[in-house]
Chains A and B, each alone.
Chain A
Amino acid sequence: MGFKEHCFKKSLWLFHFAGASCNNCDIEILDCLTPRYDVERFGMLLVGSIRHADVLLVNGSINQRDKSRLLELYEQAPKPILVVAIGACGCTGGIFAEGNTFAGPVDKIIPVDAYIPGCPPKPEAILAGVVKLLNK
């Protein structure tokens, strides 16, 4: 078992970063924690600080001002960390890619391990994405 597998073997703690988004994805991520989906039964927990996190969830298009914040967060994160881009905006910039403050989709700024497309992706899709990531 390699070092990375060892790190991600047990409960994953998630940190959620919302860029310049329309907050649909944010709500769907929160929805995963509520009774119908309840990811906490798999040991996944939304944490308040990036220093406690194993996974960084990023959604929304990233504008110039968010860019430096995202880079700072990525540098603060304990390595190895898994980065998941959620939603059409996180994956490509979506409908906001032509905006005057757009700084690039998430993978132009930090390395991304998994993409969960959709506008917004359903909670089931988010769960499926995380499960695929774990089995990678």
Chain B
Amino acid sequence: MNTDEILKNIKDAFVSDVIDILKKSETRVIISIKPSSLLQIAEYVFKKLEFRFIIATANHTKKGFEILYHFSKDEIGLIANLHVVLPVEKPEIESLSNMFSATNWIEREMHELYGIVFKNHPEPKKLISEGNWAEGVYPYRREFK
């Protein structure tokens, strides 16, 4: 299966949930999706298309909290990034940790650094902030003028 076929599969399976697909090169793509459909699309990508989860990147921009879930298809060297934007007032998204264990740590880390809430997380405990900074302080948040 090559990159175009994979993108077409995702587009066909989730017509209304995929907002935009940006193909930068044969091995790098960004798929912008609606936050409400993350669980279904991630399940499709992970279980049906057999991608490997690499890591997730959160970022605080003027648009809100952006999260990129990096997935990799190792046979063809493709890195596919699922992109969601969460509003600053209510940054909440469904946790993927019930589906596979690899997101367990990074979701806790994103919560501590940015204050993004991951709903139904199986182990919502502190990971790195204990003793380093107080609860309710989110050091990676930015201020915009």
Q: Which residues of A contact B (CB under 8 A)?
A: 63-65, 68, 100-101
Contact = CB atoms under 8 A, between A and B. Distances in A.
B133 A68 contact: no
Contacts of B139: 100
Interface string B11-47: 0000000000000000000000000000000000000
- Please name the 7 residue pairs, one residue from A and one from B, whose CB atoms are nearest each other, closest first: A65-B131, A101-B132, A64-B132, A100-B139, A65-B132, A64-B131, A63-B132
Contacts, number: 12
Chain B facing A: main interface SS: loop
Interface residues of B, number: 5
Interface string B98-135: 00000000000000000000000000000000111100
12 contacts: A63-B132, A64-B131, A64-B132, A64-B133, A65-B130, A65-B131, A65-B132, A68-B131, A100-B133, A100-B139, A101-B132, A101-B133
Contacts of B131: 64-65, 68
A35 B130 CA distance: 40
A9 to B, nearest CB: 39
